[in-house]
Each structure stands twice: as structure tokens, then as C-alpha cells.
Structure 1
Amino acid sequence: MSERVVGSERPLAGLFVVEAASFVAGPSAGMSLAQMGAEVVRVDPPSGGSDAGRWPLSANGSSLFWANLNKGKRSVAIDYRTPEGHELLVALATRPGPGAGLFMDNMVGRRRVTYEELVAQRGDVIQVHIQGRANGGPAVDYTINAEVGVPQMTGPEDSARPVNHVVPVWDLVTGMTAVSSMLAALTRRRETGEGAKVDIALADVALSGVGAMGWLAEAELARRARPRQGNHMFGAFGNDFVTSDGRPVMVVALTPGQWRALRDVTETGDVFGALEKALDANLDLETDRYRLRETISAVLRPWFAQRDYATVSALLTQAHVLWSPYRDTFEAASEARRDPDSVATEIDQPGIGRMLATGSPVRWGDERTGPVPAPRLGDDTEAVLSTMLGLTQTELGGLHARGIVGLGEREPGRG
């Protein structure tokens, strides 16, 4: 596969964003801004942030996590815990220009960069600060998810043990909330000249998401938590089935048309017609399909069990049934390589080599923005600080000698 990158006139071209964040939320936000054309400079300590070596790892020990969350950015290594480094970070975050003065961080503690420091240097600065809790307390996706009730709704019906999700959903949603907040603040700044202090707590994002799905209201009105339902889809018909050769598939019927397509291809119309009369139901209605989900599944299960996956796949696709096979991540990667229009393509990542990576999921004018490799830690320190802050080679050399900055390939340990 070759890289597919749209022209230079991407929608956020001309923006300069400084990102001082680790983990998932902040880096995913910065990556999304970079994929839409912004110049995003990630700032880490010279030894790397807390996620510099996070799993999964490549064969040579480099972090695939770090490389994939920082695609298309520039990397500057500054020890901002020191007074000199702190001053450099503030200067980058508040540099002049209509597209600059944009700072995203998840810094904590006494050494974090505050809005008051930033606005003292640039009155219209925009800071988007990501935190665990609104009161400053610590939290991560997996702890927050536990407390908003999702693991108690997830997993087999006959199990009482909570089941955590694998994808850090609340982190990713927080990242997208940070993107929309920064762009909203920038829109207002262009209209009014005012900057903004924006704080986004992961805990608030998760609770807001659960609330938006109606789950909090449901629990209070019913005066009980929602029970587990296994792989049944809540509120409509959807369930997993297994083919004769052991392949699990997920089948969903949200609309009357989808339900009729599933009923017709499985040749179960007469059976379901009789059930409708016997149970006083109308299976064209989403609510009745959900109410009778176990009965529907029991009727359909033998059809899948009597056919191999190739046959089931062909028949369901031809009938326009809403379905998908269950795949593991290796199968998903293999399928992405076979798909010429996939969001994933192969890149040459410094320090790792050839690897499958994803570009922006957004298509502009029917074109995709292909993935751009991530920098190695500190690769852009010299260029950014000399070009954007006017530091001389002598000044950079002194900062490097004192351990205030790292200068990319001169630093050991990152390929």
C-alpha cells in the first residue's frame, strides 16, 4: 500500500498547536488536529513522557502505542519541570500569530502551566486542559468506566463479575471533545479577539455520555440497574450466531426492512407469522422484536448452525441483511490490507520500520488523509526552538548540556 495524502490546503492548515499531554485523550486530540492540517508540536521531557514506552511494543522494544498516537506531529523535548524549560514551553504556547496561541495539556501538580501564566504573555491564548476529575483528582478511563456502571451491563447474562471494556472509549471521546472545544474557542477568538480557558474532566465526559444514552434516567425511573443481556442489542433485535464451521457473526435488525430481509433469507416467515398470532405481537415493530429477542434467536439459530461461514456470508450479503463477522485484531489488520479504500495503510515508522497505521477517518472532497509517521522523541527540538523562538546554536547547545532540552537522534534509546 502507498500513502495517500490530500493536498496542502487541509482545513486546519496554518494553525500551530502545542500539546503537552500523555496517555490517550490529549495525544488523540492532537493527532486529529494534525490530520486535519494543523502543525502540532508535542512537548515531552527529554527522557520521554509517562507513555513513551507503553505497550504494545515492536520487536525492538519501541512503543507502538506512542508511534500511533503521535502520527503527523513534531516532537520537542524540553524538561519543563525546570524554570528554564518551563519558560520555553510557555513561550512556545504563546508565540505570536493568528493561528498560534493554542495550548492543549493534561499537566498536573505545582509545575503545570497555568492559564494565568499563559494569558500574561498572550491575552488571547486558548488553553484546553484535560484532567481526570473536575476537582483535580486523578482518574483514568478504566477507573471512570467502572464507576459509571458500564462494566455491570457488559458480559454474559449468567455472570455477576464486572467486565471492563478493552477500548479506552472515554479517553477517545474526551480527545474529540477537546478538539471541538479548541476549534469552538478559536472560532470565538476570530470573532471577538477573546481567548479561552477550557477545562475538560474525563469523569464529566463519561457521565455525560452515559446520561446522553438515557441510562441514568432509565435506572432512576425503573429504580434498578439495567441487567446484563450478553450479546443482545439493547432496545432492538441484534444477537450473535455461530455457523456450522464455528464462525461467530453478529446480526442486527433495526428497521422493518432489515427485519424482513433477515426473515426472508432464513425462510422463517411462516414461523414468525405464527408466533405473532400466538403471542399477539407485530415483529415489524422494534419494541416487539426486542421483547421477543430470545424467541427470535432460538428460531434463527439452527439456520446458521446448518450452514458454513462462506454460505452464510454470501446469503446475508446478497439479501442486504445488516451483519458482520467477528474478527480478531490480526484478522482486522489483514482485512484492512486487502481493502484499497481502508483508512489503514503501511508506513515507514522511524525506530520501528514498516507498520500498518491509520490515517484520518474523515474524507475531504472524497479524498483520505493517509497516515504520516510519528517523529522520534525530540526529533524537532532544534528546528522548532531555533525557528519559532529564535534560539541560536550556542543557546541550544547550552540548554542541551544542562539537560533542559533533548535533541532527537543525539539522545539514546529511541531507535
Structure 2
Amino acid sequence: MYQLLSDLSIIEVSSFVASPTAGLYCAQMGAEVIRVDHKAGGLDYDRYMLTKEGWSLAWENLNRAKKSVALDLRSGEGRELLLELTRKTGQAITNLPEQSFLSHAAMSEGRPDMVSVRIMGWHDGRQAMDFTVNAASGYPLMTGPAEWDQETAPPVNQVLPAWDFITGAYCAFAMMAAIHHRTMTGEGSEVRVPLGDVGMGTLGNSGSLAEMLYRGGDRPRLGNAIWGALGRDFISKDGKRFMVAVLTTKQWHAMVEAFDIAEPIAALERETGVEFPHSDHNRFVHRDALFAIVQGAAGALDYAAIAERLAAAGATFERYRTMYEASTDPDLVTNNPLFGPSPKNPSGFAYPATRSFANIPGREAGDPLPAPLLGQHSEEVLAERLALSSGAIGKLIDAGIVATARA
């Protein structure tokens, strides 16, 4: 983790993926992120996958480098402690509803420069999750084999909660923007980020919304082909599947060279009356014929030979892996500086952990830090932030308002 935000403290009241992701990215840049949960753990505390001892590996990784405070958030006293923490700190990230006890109005009472970032469902207040936003977006009905009937084929859900992770990243950015605005003007900000708007806004930003309205209908399914360019999965002689992507003239020439297909390509150009090196459009329109040429060459070679040729030519390609294969791949994980040595994880399970995705030359990234135990920093934070004495904290613990880390 870098120390670019070492002077910043953020209260995070989170569950699931998007909100913890926002705090995680801030923590990886050096911010002190204090996650506050109900004393028994939040809704995501035991989210799959669980170790045999009952530790959530998802929670463990989304909460690295954070501090943990555990309060009885069903009690008025526990809620007031949380509100006081947000006011003293001055910035908070949450996905609790605005109409809850943790409203911006409550957090900013006596703190007009309060900055809060709140993740919502839809802009009109309806609930949403990544999976339901994805259903609304149209993407699941755009994927699947090209031969599937457009009207009756089932949706194909993606397994990555992409809208959650995009929302988390956007919220970290929004927090920094609001803090910058406060530095310039002294004004606080209430920032609301609906998960559904992130999904629909991405459709807009990508040009997909305009495309659908322009065409007056849906884009056809393309299977694994790249929309608007040349690319698809191919199969080697020894049965390995790999992806080749061609979006530039350089990538085109590299693919043609690697597969030694200049002659059949020239014949296709004469037949169609078009040239392929400089035109995504031509390559896309004639993709089936081009795919057949490439697959014919690929099917005569084992993957090792294909990879050597493609790499030597400077092509853009990659072999399909299972996620387990990716997790154990030396280039992707073991020798990748993104991953550092395993810290002392709450689960007790040792494995490579991620540093910040950003790489800043000349700055020390530092080794990954562990996630906290639930309530590990309750006493420390209440003493430092609220100036509570050890005796006062002890009474809160005895009363069940404050919880400390489990063994």
C-alpha cells in the first residue's frame, strides 16, 4: 500500500461488495479506514467462501488494511457512538439507506463540512444488487452462442459482480472529489451513488445506449467474438482454447505473420474486394471467413508452437485458463509484483495478497496488510477519536454496547 492518503481517516459502514471496495481502495492508498459493524458482524461477515473454521475469504480480502470497530448498532447508544465517530472524523462511506439512523443530516449535525458517500440501489429508492442491475442492463441477453434464437434464448449471467466493483471504484473517486471540493471551499457534500445508475451510466458512456436507439433494436449475439473488431476464441491441435484480439494494424500483421496465412488472406481480399489491414469494419464484417482461415491454421499446430509464434510476432493473445489455473500461474500471480507475501490473515490461511492496483515508480508499495478481526480496534478508536477513558470503554463493553475482537 502507498501512503498518498496517510493524513485521511474515513468511517466505513458497509456490507457486501461495492461499499467495502470503496474503503479498500482508499486504504490501499494509505488512508485510515475504520470499518464499523454491528457487534455480531455485518450482513457480509460470513459470506461465501468460508473456511472450515468459518472465516469468510471474501470479507477477509475486501477489508484488508482497515481497522474494525464493533458496536451494538441496534441500540440507541451504539448508534450514537457511530454518529459521533463520523462527526469527529468528517468523512464516511456507507450503503445504509438514507432513511436510516445514519442519514447525512444526522452525520453532519454540528459538522457542516461533513463528506458522506452513500451507495444506493436505484435512483428512485428501489432496492438493487449487482445481479438485478445486470438483469436490467441487457447484457445477459447479449451474451451466449451466436446460433441461439434472439427471441427465446435464455440470459447468461456474468459471474463477476462487475457493477459492484465499478461502483466501489467510482465511490472512492467521488470521496476524493468531495474532499478536494471541501479543501477549496470549506463546504461539505452528500454524495449519493445509485448502483443502478452506475450500470445504466456505463451503458451510456460506452455508446451502447446510443447504439441500441440508433439501430432501433438489439445487437445480435456474437458468441465469443469481439463486437466491432476481429477477435474470438480458437482451438489448437492439442485442444487448447485461446483468444486472439485484433484492433490495430500492428495486431493484424502480427496475427497474419504468426499463422502464416498471408496467401489465403490475399485470396479473400480479392474475392471480397476489400482490404483488411487498416479497417476494423472490414475485418468485422468478414469475420466468419477470417475466423475460418485462422482456425484452419491453429488447428494444425499445438498450442505451445502457436504461443511461441504469436509472442514472437507481437500479437495480442491469451490462453483460456480455469480460475484455479490463473490463481497458481507464475506470471499472473507468483512473479507478479501486484501480489505480496501473505500477511497474518484472520482465517489463518496463507496465500498471496494484492497490493494497490496502481504502480507508482519511485515509491515503495509496501506489503499487503491483513484484514482486522471484528472489533479488533474498538477500544483504540473510541479512545483516540472520542477521547473516552478506559473506564468508560470498559463500561460500554460490559453493557454489550461495544465488542472487542474474538479469539
Aligning the two structures, in what range does the TM-score lie when normalised by the shorter sequence? over 0.9
CA contact (8 A) 1:360 1:369 kept: no
> In the alignment, which residue of structure 2 is the partner of 1:171?
164
Distance 1:146 1:369, change over 3 A: farther
Q: Does 1:213 align with 2:221?
A: no
CA contact (8 A) 2:39 2:73 kept: no
> In the alignment, which residue of structure 2 is the partner of 1:33?
26
Q: 1:228-265: per-residue Cα shift (whole Å, max 9, x none)? A: 10000011001001112221100011101110110111
Answer with 325-334 or 104-113: which moved more: 104-113
The one-letter code of the counterpart of 2:377 is D
From 379, 383, 386, the equivalent of 1:386 is: 383
Whole-Å separation in 2 of the counterparts to 1:295 and 1:390: 72
Shift of 1:112: 3.2
Whole-Å separation in 2 of the counterparts to 1:110 and 1:215: 34
Shift of 1:66: 0.1
From 105, 108, 131, the equivalent of 2:97 is: 108
> In the alignment, which residue of structure 1 is the partner of 2:356?
360
The one-letter code of the counterpart of 2:61 is N
Whole-Å separation in 2 of the counterparts to 1:157 and 1:386: 61
Q: Does 1:324 align with 2:318?
A: yes
Q: 1:162-187: per-residue Cα shift (whole Å, max 9, x none)? A: 00111111111111111111101111
CA contact (8 A) 1:337 1:345 kept: no
Superposed, which structure 2 residues align to 1:156-305 within 5 Å? Answer: 156-159=145-148, 160-284=153-277, 285-305=279-299
Q: Does 1:152 align with 2:141?
A: yes
CA contact (8 A) 1:361 1:368 kept: no
Whole-Å separation in 2 of the counterparts to 1:408 and 1:61: 15
Whole-Å separation in 2 of the counterparts to 1:406 and 1:245: 58
- After superposition, the CA RMSD in angstroms is 1.5
CA contact (8 A) 1:348 1:355 kept: no
Secondary structure of the 1:165 match is coil
Q: Does 1:315 align with 2:302?
A: no
The one-letter code of the counterpart of 1:384 is V
Q: Does 1:123 align with 2:123?
A: no
The one-letter code of the counterpart of 1:55 is Y
The one-letter code of the counterpart of 1:125 is M
Unpaired segments ≥5 residues, structure 2: none
Whole-Å separation in 1 of the counterparts to 2:258 and 2:80: 67
Whole-Å separation in 2 of the counterparts to 1:337 and 1:322: 20
The one-letter code of the counterpart of 1:328 is T
CA contact (8 A) 2:258 2:306 kept: no
Q: 1:133-166: per-residue Cα shift (whole Å, max 9, x none)? A: 1122110000001111010111212331100111
Whole-Å separation in 2 of the counterparts to 1:248 and 1:370: 35
Shift of 1:314: 1.1
From 386, 396, 403, the equivalent of 2:400 is: 403
Q: 1:391-411: per-residue Cα shift (whole Å, max 9, x none)? A: 2222222222222121113xx
Distance 1:408 1:193, change over 3 A: same
- Give me the TM-score of the superposition, normalised by structure 1: 0.93
Unpaired segments ≥5 residues, structure 1: 410-414
Whole-Å separation in 2 of the counterparts to 1:94 and 1:172: 27
CA contact (8 A) 2:356 2:365 kept: yes
Whole-Å separation in 2 of the counterparts to 1:378 and 1:338: 32
Q: 1:26-71: per-residue Cα shift (whole Å, max 9, x none)? A: 1000000000010000000000000000011223221000000000
Whole-Å separation in 2 of the counterparts to 1:31 and 1:338: 22
Whole-Å separation in 2 of the counterparts to 1:247 and 1:146: 32
Secondary structure of the 2:314 match is coil
Shift of 1:343: 3.4
From 349, 353, 356, the equivalent of 2:345 is: 349
Whole-Å separation in 2 of the counterparts to 1:59 and 1:185: 42
Whole-Å separation in 1 of the counterparts to 2:167 and 2:369: 23
CA contact (8 A) 1:58 1:352 kept: no
Answer with 71-80 or 362-371: which moved more: 362-371
Shift of 1:340: 4.4
Whole-Å separation in 1 of the counterparts to 2:306 and 2:123: 50
- Give me the TM-score of the superposition, normalised by structure 2: 0.95
Q: Does 1:373 align with 2:373?
A: no
> In the alignment, which residue of structure 1 is the partner of 2:48?
55
Whole-Å separation in 2 of the counterparts to 1:385 and 1:309: 59
The one-letter code of the counterpart of 1:361 is F
Whole-Å separation in 2 of the counterparts to 1:288 and 1:234: 13
Whole-Å separation in 1 of the counterparts to 2:195 and 2:314: 39
From 65, 68, 71, the equivalent of 2:61 is: 68
Q: Does 1:306 align with 2:300?
A: yes
Q: 1:207-230: per-residue Cα shift (whole Å, max 9, x none)? A: 000111111111111111111100
The one-letter code of the counterpart of 1:106 is N
Whole-Å separation in 1 of the counterparts to 2:90 and 2:102: 13
CA contact (8 A) 1:360 1:370 kept: no
CA contact (8 A) 1:237 1:253 kept: yes
Fraction of identical pairs, as percent: 36
